[in-house]
Amino acid sequence: MQGLSGVERVGCTKLLQSLQKSDLLSLCDTVTNKLIAVENDVEALETILTFSKNAEELLRRKKVQRDLIFKYLANEGLAMPPNIEKHQLVRRTLEFWSSGKAAVSGGEERQTLSTDGKAEASFDPLVFGRQFCQWFFQLLNSQNLSLGQQPQGWGAQHFWPDARLRLYHSAETEEFEGAELVNLRLLALTREERLLFSPNLEEQGLKALLSPHGLMLVAVAGTIHRDETCLGLFEQMFGLIRSSMMDNSWKIKNVDLRIKERNALKGPVTSAPSLGYSAGELQLLCS
């Protein structure tokens, strides 16, 4: 799960602030496949920065036009030949951001889907957990072909090679080990079984903790749907570990998914279910 570095985030913010509001909202729809609704240009900008896979992908979007990048570099003191092509501007911008010469204002260098050592002091596990869940469920739901949307880049690359999945449903337990098997079983939930996961990312539905050893634990509750029918509730817990081989990147180490079918529930299904795990239980699992 690779996102934008702090420098790239600030640079992209400067670039995108020059867009018209309509173009910004359109770009937001493109980046998220229209799975996330935003109410204004501020939310659109934040969503674009959060859900872009990397800086190069964002710069190559059609809405990020050549002249926009040209003017940004000029404002940063980098004069480019008038006839330079967009792909050359993209490469020059990425080189500029990676050179360490781009200015980063303290107020704008914010955390994205992951973190790095420089930002560790300001790392907020709950903010990270919410952003991770937005990313994960958007990616997983996009594999549901009944939605008629373009599937996004789901795959074994988001999991550690020794990843583990425990799936609890209908009084049965399934266990899978290895990135490819975990990836395929989760994929089958949305692609073959046509399930749609709707997580509750408010305070009562989401908890997140970071252990002293670097294990990030994220737990979330939500509802499960197929087409227009609510099938029941789910609780899902993730263990994440930062990848030392890739900056600003985390991978999924383990997943526990509990599915509670509607006919097995005592009360009505609510749209904002609460998480059953207590903070103390998560702390024990995180220790």
Residues 185 and 257 in one domain: yes
Residues 75 and 125 in one domain: no
Q: Which one of 106, 129, 148 terminates a domain?
A: 106
Backbone torsion region of residue 246, taken as left when φ is above 0, otherwise alpha when ψ lies between -120 and 50, otherwise beta: beta
User: Is 148 inside a domain boundary?
Assistant: yes
Residues 174 and 140 in one domain: yes
**Longest CA span, the chain:** 69
User: Is 112 inside a domain boundary?
Assistant: no
Q: How far apart are CA 216 and CA 14, in angstroms?
A: 31
User: Is 1 inside a domain boundary?
Assistant: no
92-96, 119-123, 209-213: lowest mean pLDDT where?
Answer: 119-123
Residues 196 and 244 in one domain: yes
Does residue 224 contact residue 232 with C-beta atoms inside 8 Å? yes
Q: Which one of 106, 141, 159 terminates a domain?
A: 106
Residues 200-238: tens digit of each pLDDT: 988 889 999 887 777 889 999 999 999 888 888 999 999
Give the mean pLDDT of 109-117.
38
User: Is 82 inside a domain boundary?
Assistant: yes
User: Is 268 inside a domain boundary?
Assistant: yes
Residues 85 and 195 in one domain: no
Residues 98 and 186 in one domain: no
Residues 242 and 129 in one domain: yes
pLDDT score at 117: 40
User: Is 113 inside a domain boundary?
Assistant: no
Tokens of 286: 């995180």
Give the mean pLDDT of 48-71.
90
Residues 99 and 140 in one domain: no
Residues 149 and 274 in one domain: yes
**What is the span of the domain harbouring residue 258?**
119-286
Q: How far apart are CA 146 and CA 22, in angstroms?
A: 28
User: Is 43 inside a domain boundary?
Assistant: yes
Residues 60-70: tens digit of each pLDDT: 999 999 999 99
Domain total of the chain? 2
11: nearest Cα among 123, 128, 92, 121: 92
The phi, psi pair for 7, rounded to 5°, reads: -65, -45
Residues 144 and 278 in one domain: yes
Residues 136 and 276 in one domain: yes
The phi, psi pair for 37, rounded to 5°, reads: -90, 135
